[in-house]
Each structure stands twice: as structure tokens, then as C-alpha cells.
Structure 1
């Protein structure tokens, strides 16, 4: 119970120092992004680090954990291999993770039996900014990131302090920006969602071919002052690029094939129309050039031929006109006309 009370009291002290803008000589706030190395200063250190003890408090632990005891690293602690004591009695942590966030206390113990605490505690609050990635199919690593996939980058601030309180009082902000430092909320390609309850900001987008080696940064600011940032760079494997190129090539070939088929169909249709028009024109010309033939018969009556030698004689001529092809008249019937000349 005492350890929990000490943890709550330490959190209130550090929060108060942030809210008021002042901090005591023994208070320190360190902001870092995951994956980096960090140094936590011990502001009450003596010349001899054999008197130095480092204690770690975290919301995730029910009790305080002793990391360094009288200058000697404890080997039974988590991630003890990443810890080391500096020559100035500072605590060095390699390859920081979100699990390392929390409150650290540096104490000095002196006396014949190292049982007397010297001076006040040096308090350090470690704030860690961490980015995780998930793809549209499942939680994935960078090697599974490829063009055409929808990905979500989650940037979360880990600390023992209340994110909601700092958002209201200190203007804490988490932002996703591009390489030029432009806020990505201004680009409709990205969907940005911030939660002050968990101090997390998500960026969701669909990756493009040109996103290879593109960098996005998550920034943490307090009072409009940048505290820390973490970078995420899109990395496509050679296989991803090859598959994407093949996919684009297949789509392009398919589009060209469809276009050529459409052009060929239009050409065939045009040729058929032209051929049909030529045949119709030939039939029409043939019908138009079909002539109408007439037969004219001339006959002289026998009686008239017998009297041809006389002066006063009559010659009869009979002309008959007929069409091989019926010709429509006004009355829509054929006529036979006989002409007679009398001399």
C-alpha cells in the first residue's frame, strides 16, 4: 500500500511540475521515441556511485522495482541486459520500449552500512512515444507492407501521467506529419483519429507504388513545443515491387487488348456495312438500267394489196406496241394501240 501511495504522490508531483511550468532541481522529464537509447540523469549523485540506487515505479507494476543497488545492477529484473550505470551515476537504457515508460528515482545511501539516505530523491519521468503497424489483412510487420494494401499506423504516448489532463491544461498534441512537416489531416488521402483516453493517434491510408521509402512522423508537443517524434518509413521488398509491377503490366495489357478488340470490331462492322451498301447499289443500278423493249408489226390487208396498182388505193398499216416488262399506266393496266394511215 505504501508503494502505491508513493507512486501516486510521485505522479502528482511530476504532473504539478508540468502544469505549473516549474520543477525542482531533482525533477526531470525525459521524452524519447521507442527504439532509441536514453540517459536518465541522477541530479543528487555523489562522487562515488557505490552509494547510488535506482528504483523504478510503473502503473503496470504493483510494487517498486530496484534496478541498481549501491552501484550494482540487479540481474533479476526485466530487461536487465539493457541497463547500465554511467560514470556520473546516470541510468542508461538501450533500445527503449514502451514498457520502460514510468517513474524513476535516484537515491544516495551513505553511512558505515550504507543505511543512511543522503539528500533528497532525484525523480525522473520517462515518456515513450511508440508506433505500431497493422495491415488490412492482419497485424503485420514491415516486410508484409506492399502497394495496394490499407495500413494503419498507431502512435501512442506511454507515461504515468494523465493524457486527458495534459491535453486540457498543457495543450498536449499528437500529430502525424510528412517529411516536410505538414500536418496530414489536411490531406484527404489520410484518415486521422485521436483518442485522449489512451493518448493514441491513428493514421490509416492505402499504400501506393510511390510510397516506397516515404517517411511519416508522429510528433508529441507540449505548449506548442516539440518534445519528441518517431519516424516510420515505408519499405517495400523487391518481391512486392515486382508483383506490383507485374500486376500493373497485366492490367495495362488487358486494357490494350480490350481496346484493340473494340477497334477491330468497329472495322469489321464498317467493312460489312460498306459491302452491303455496294451490293444494294449494284442491284439498284441493274434495275434502273433494265430497258423496255417494243415490237412494231406492220401489216397490209390482202384486199388492199390486190388493188395496189390502182391510183386510188388505200394502204392500211397496223402498229402493235407491247412491253416485255409491264409498265404501269394511270389506270394500272397494259394498252395495245393500233395506228392506221389512209392515203
Structure 2
């Protein structure tokens, strides 16, 4: 019975090719979101000015992306598109919305030439449950999110598979399989700490979810969602858990501030020490001044005076050094020693 179903599916595919008027070889491209895709144009002529690329999927009508070698700027993705010298179509930073059916056709003088080159683009995409993390990034093949240990996280790996048949029929008939594995490539279904479920819906042809409670040792841990087609690996998406580093950043800033405050205090202490040394030096510069004055008493004056009379002389001394401040009390003292001497007759 299963063999008959497979034959029926094959017949439907061949019939679809006949109805569209093409008999060329179809190409299936499997890619992870965030990567760059290259779609070959096997029927290209020598001049890409005759090449037209069209796109459609199950939710949209056919749209011309490239018309006679010129990129159509009216499309939303035109900035991510480019045409190579061999007329292949490049799509930069693929998203899940890029999956679908691409056709390369050749026109000469308005007449279609040859058969169409058809490319089916299938995209593998991973997202994190919104309730599991405050921030997430799942637009690249190596996604990361900042979360914390002790919380439950759910990762959803979605295969956007373009098909004219039902998803379940094609997945089953062509042997597609999604797996969550660890860094060593071991299927996580064998580990009881992970809850893994498979499902499908109208928008996503194949979904496999991984749910677990994060442990301290899960920081920087990598999980991979792998897509295999008839036991051959087609593409995979890596997802890395990264815990928040806010606490570490705050600690680093605190250490930096403490170091800065220590330098400021040390600088101020050095300045005060330098000011004190200068003040001592200034004080030492104010030395006391001593003057000795020898007085001679003329003989005529001494004739009528007693020998023990003393003549006093007033001596005034001024300090030429500048006054530092009103609080400085560096008084200069002048001493005068007066001696009386009698000249011998």
C-alpha cells in the first residue's frame, strides 16, 4: 500500500511539471535563516539581459524579482538580491519569508526561450519562546539569547518546506527528519531532562520543539537543530545559551570607580605633603638677626660722668621678606648689645 502511495505522489509531481510546460530538472536548496543563498539558472543564455527571475509561494502570487537582467526595486527584498555573471540569483541574509518557488526564464525579443529553470528554496529557522527570555535573536544560523539559570526555555525549530503536496505526505514520502542534538551530535531525545515534541501546521511544514530547565552549567552550551533528507544532512541551526553579564559589568564598573577614587585621594595627599614642606622651608628662611653696636664715649664727655654710666642707643631693623599671610607669626627679633669703652689717655 505504501509503495502505491509513493507512485501516486511521483505521478502528481510529473503531472505538475507537464501542466506548467516545463521539463527541466528542479533544484532543491535547503538553507538556515541568516545565511546567503545562491539559486542557479541552468537555462541561462550568454547575456543575462534576457534573464527574468520570478518568485511565488503558497501564500502569495507570482512576483518578478529580476526583469531582463534588471532588479525590480518595487519588491520588499530588492536590497538583498543580486544577479551574478552566470545569471544565478543571490539572496543575502535569508529569512523564513524567502522560502518558496523561484523560476528562471529566458526571453529574446519578447519571446520565451527554452524551458524554465526551477528552484525550490526551503528554510530552517529557530526561535525562542517569548516567555522564556527577555531578549532573543534567531535570525542567524548561530542564534544566541541572554537568559538566566533556573528558568524554563523552549526552542522551536521550524522547517519552511515549499511543496505542492501536503506537508505530511512529502515529509513522510521523502524521508525528511528534524533532530535536536548536542555539541557532540547526540540526539537529545535520549536525555530525560529535555522534552522534545514534533508537530506541523498550515504555516510551518515541520516543527520540533525542545523544552528544558536551564542549569548553571548550561552557560555557553550549544544545541543544534538538524534537517536530514533521506538520512543525509541538509542544513542545521546552532543555538547558544548565554547568561546575562549585567552583574559582572556592574562589578567591573565598581572596581574602576574605587581605583579612580584611590588615585584622587593619593594625589591630594601628595599635594598636601608638598605644601607642608614648602611652609617649613619658608619658616627656616626667616632667621633671627643679631647686631652688635660698639659705643665710644669721648673723653670730654667722660670727665664729668661716672664710669658706670651707660649710653643707650635705639636700633631699628626692618625685615625685607614678604608677609605670607595674616596668620603667619614669623617675627624677626633684633638684639643690640651696647658696650661702653673708655679711651686711654
**Global fold match (TM > 0.5):** yes
Residue equivalent to 2:280: none
- Distance, in Å, in 1 between the alignment partners of 2:16 and 2:173 is 11
2:127 corresponds to 1:132: yes
TM-score, scaled relative to structure 1: 0.61
Check whether the contact 1:136–1:149 (CA below 8 A) recurs between aligned residues. no
Q: Which has the higher strand share?
A: 2
The count of corresponding residues between Structure 1 and Structure 2 is: 223
Residue equivalent to 2:314: none
Check whether the contact 2:133–2:145 (CA below 8 A) recurs between aligned residues. no
Residue equivalent to 1:174: 178
Residue equivalent to 2:257: none
Gaps of 5+ in 1: 1-11, 18-22, 244-343
Check whether the contact 1:104–1:126 (CA below 8 A) recurs between aligned residues. yes
Check whether the contact 2:100–2:162 (CA below 8 A) recurs between aligned residues. yes
2:199 corresponds to 1:195: yes
TM-score, scaled relative to structure 2: 0.60
Residue equivalent to 1:204: 211
- Distance, in Å, in 2 between the alignment partners of 1:39 and 1:217 is 23
- Partner residue of 1:222 out of 216, 222, 229: 229
| Higher RCO (CA 8 Å, separation ≥ 6 residues) | 2
Secondary structure at 2:114's aligned position in 1?
coil
Check whether the contact 1:133–1:139 (CA below 8 A) recurs between aligned residues. no
Q: Deviation digits for residues 304-335 of structure 1, max 9, x if unmatched?
A: xxxxxxxxxxxxxxxxxxxxxxxxxxxxxxxx
Residue equivalent to 2:116: 121
- Distance, in Å, in 2 between the alignment partners of 1:41 and 1:229 is 22
- Distance, in Å, in 2 between the alignment partners of 1:15 and 1:156 is 29
- Within a 5 Å distance, the mapping from 1:276-315 to structure 2 comes to none
Cα deviation for residue 15 of structure 1 reads 11
- Within a 5 Å distance, the mapping from 1:49-198 to structure 2 comes to 49-61=48-60, 63-111=61-109, 115-134=110-129, 136-137=131-132, 140-141=135-136, 142-161=144-163, 162-197=166-201, 198=204
Q: Deviation digits for residues 247-304 of structure 1, max 9, x if unmatched?
A: xxxxxxxxxxxxxxxxxxxxxxxxxxxxxxxxxxxxxxxxxxxxxxxxxxxxxxxxxx
Check whether the contact 1:41–1:90 (CA below 8 A) recurs between aligned residues. yes
Secondary structure at 2:242's aligned position in 1?
coil
Secondary structure at 2:162's aligned position in 1?
coil
Bigger Rg, structure 1 or 2: 1
Detail structure 1 runs of 4+ shifted over 3 Å in the superposition: 12-17, 23-26, 135-140, 240-243
Distance 1:195 1:69, change over 3 A: same
Residue equivalent to 1:329: none
Cα deviation for residue 143 of structure 1 reads 4.5
Distance 1:190 1:135, change over 3 A: farther
- Distance, in Å, in 1 between the alignment partners of 2:175 and 2:58 is 23
Gaps of 5+ in 2: 1-11, 137-143, 251-345
Cα deviation for residue 240 of structure 1 reads 6.2
- Distance, in Å, in 2 between the alignment partners of 1:86 and 1:221 is 29
Cα deviation for residue 222 of structure 1 reads 1.5
Check whether the contact 2:178–2:228 (CA below 8 A) recurs between aligned residues. yes
Check whether the contact 1:51–1:108 (CA below 8 A) recurs between aligned residues. yes
Residue equivalent to 1:41: 40
Secondary structure at 1:119's aligned position in 2?
strand
